[in-house]
Amino acid sequence: MPAIEVQRQTLPILGNPNQGARFYNPDLPASEPFVPGHRTCAGCGPSIQYRMTSKASGDNTILVGPTGCMYVANSSYLCTPYNVPWAHTQIGSAGSFTAGVAAAYEAMIRKGKYKGTFPNVICEAGDGSASDIGLASISGALYRNHDCLIICYDNEQYANTGIQASSRTPYGGMTTFSPPGPKVPEAKTLYPKDLARMMAAGHPHCYVATASVGYPIDLMNKVRKGLNHKGAAYLMIYTPCQKGFVYETPRSIDLGRLVVECGLYPMWEWNPEKREYDYSFRPQTMRPVAEYLKLQGRFGHLHAEHIANLQKFANQQWQMMGVQLPEALIKSADPKNQVNMAASAEAEAVAQTL
């Protein structure tokens, strides 16, 4: 029996209204694979990301949801907000399950058992699954180059179990596993795992990119580029968590922009054809990290030297992207030019009593 050729979807790239247009007016698709009524917190960042991703990919999509917020909060009573096929899988087997779905569709189409175009297979893993528990299986799926998109929605902690530290939790971030105290005043001493770069370096044949909910059209375009890429693609998307970051719910999108403007979340794409990084994304402004940190309760305990350390880290990220550092940011990396967070004294007092 002759093999049937697999028909793949090509999604158009949206015009980016933030670059060059005089007024904000994106042209969005109409389909809505993600519907309201889910039980995530008000202003949930991962939920915004899920919505934008599924809107970009359209109705011919299969979603894979390893254990995480977007599984636990969204599928209670077996009732989910997904209007497209969605399957839960174990937190450790995100990559292998997704690879299986993609491989199965390829085989079924080839053998004529499934009529229709190849669906967009998207795995929505949290940073716990993507950077810690399911790292091996995701790496395997990327390495074997199955035609799928694996997304790490990065809320920088294990949120659905009550805010525990993951390897993506930033330096200084308070979680229940990394509380600040007299011995460790900065709460978390380790810097976050550079997960996206690890995936780009380790699987150079894959499309890899970072994105943020603060730049919705850019995010949707990267999802479409990843889906259009024949083979595996990997996206790491910054998604603020209102409960874990401790901020006011309206600031979800704002934080997504601030984290990029502060240099703590460099936005780039890995071009698998040229085998090089594309660092051309530039936010409208550059800001000192304190502007991002001060909006969040999880950084409320930081002292001047910790903020300076984070600024140093951000400056390294800017330099890596080839950005000329303004004098003000170099100065901010010196603890002498920083002040303690407003709540740091109270945080210390509380810690002493324990």
Partner 1 sequence: MSTKGTRIPEWLTVPFAGITPAPTQEKGQDLFPTGNWRSIRPVYRDKLPPCNNACGTNEKIQGYLDLVKRGKYLDAYALIKEDMPFPSVTGRVCYHPCETACNRGQYDEAISIRAVERFLGDLGQALQRDVVKPGKPNGKKVAVVGSGPAGHSAAYQLARLGYKVTILEKSPKAGGLNRGGIPDWVLPQDVLDREIERLIELGIAIKTNTEVGKDVSWDSLKKDYDAVVLAVGLTEPNSVRAEGENKQGVIYGLPFLRDIGMGTSKVKLGARVAVIGGGNTAIDCAREALRQGAVEVTMITVEGNPKEMPCVPEDLHDMLEEGVELIHGKAVTAVLGNGRVEALELHPAKFSGAINASPITINKDVAAEKFAVDNVIIAVGQHASLAWLPAEFKTERGSIKIDRFGRLGDTNFFAAGDIVQLGSGQPLMVVNAVGDGKRVAFNLDKALRGEALEPRKIAIDVIVDLNRMNMTYFPHFPRVKQDMLNPTSRKKTQDEVILAFTEEQAVEEAGRCFSCGTCNACDNCYLVCPEPCIARSDRSNGLYKILVDYCKGCRVCIEECPTGCLEGVPELDFDAGVVRMDTAFAISPGLHGRQAQELANLASRPAKEL
The amino acid occupying position 138 is: I
Q: Quick check: 295 binds partner 1 (CB under 8 A)? A: no
Give, as ranges, the residues between 111 and 150 that touch partner 1 (CB under 8 A): none
Using CB under 8 A as the binding rule, whether residue 37 contacts partner 1 is answered as: yes
Percent of the chain that is helix, strand, coil (3-state, to 5): 40, 15, 50
Can you point out the beta strands (E) in the chain?
Answer: 61-66, 86-89, 120-126, 149-154, 207-212, 233-238, 269-271, 276-278
Q: Single out the residue of 89, 169, 252, 309 in contact with partner 1 (rule: CB under 8 A).
A: 252
Q: Based on the shown chain and the rule CB under 8 A, indicate whether residue 25 belongs to the binding site for partner 1.
A: yes
Binding flags for partner 1, 190-229, as an x/- string (CB under 8 A): --------------------------x-------------
Tell me whether residue 24 or residue 354 sits nearer to partner 1 (CB atom).
Answer: 24
Phi, psi of 228 (to 5 degrees): -70, -30
Q: Could you say whether residue 244 binds partner 1 (CB under 8 A)?
A: no
Question: CA 315 to CA 71: how far, in whole Å?
Answer: 36
Query: Which residue in the set 106, 132, 194, 254 belongs to the binding site for partner 1 (CB under 8 A)?
Result: 254
Q: Which is nearer to partner 1, 78 or 354 (CB)?
A: 78
User: Which residue number, 84 or 121, has a Cβ lying nearer to partner 1?
Assistant: 84
| Position among 2, 5, 23, 182 found at the interface with partner 1 (CB under 8 A) | 23
DSSP secondary structure, 143-212, as one string: HTT-S-EEEEEE-SSBTTTT-B--TTSPTT--BTTB---SS-TTS--SPPP-HHHHHHHH-TTSEEEEEE
Output 44 or 133, the one with its CB closest to partner 1.
44
- Options 5, 10, 36, 354; binder of partner 1; rule CB under 8 A: 36
Q: Which residues, 76 to 105, sit near partner 1 by CB under 8 A? A: 77-83
- The string over 58-67, giving b where at least 16 C-beta atoms fall within 10 Å of a residue's C-beta and e elsewhere, is beebbbbbbb
Is residue 45 a contact point for partner 1 (CB under 8 A)? yes
The stretch near partner 1 (CB under 8 A) out of 36-44, 100-108, 317-325, 340-348 is: 36-44
For residues 146 and 185, give the distance between their C-alpha atoms in angstroms, rounded to a whole number. Answer: 44
Q: Would you say 24 or 342 has its CB closer to partner 1?
A: 24
- Six-digit token string for 317: 């990220």
Q: Which residues contact 196 (CB under 8 A, 6 or more apart)?
A: 152, 208, 209, 210, 234, 236
Residues that bind partner 1 (CB under 8 A): 18, 21-26, 28, 31-32, 34-45, 47-48, 51-52, 77-83, 216, 242, 249-254, 257, 284
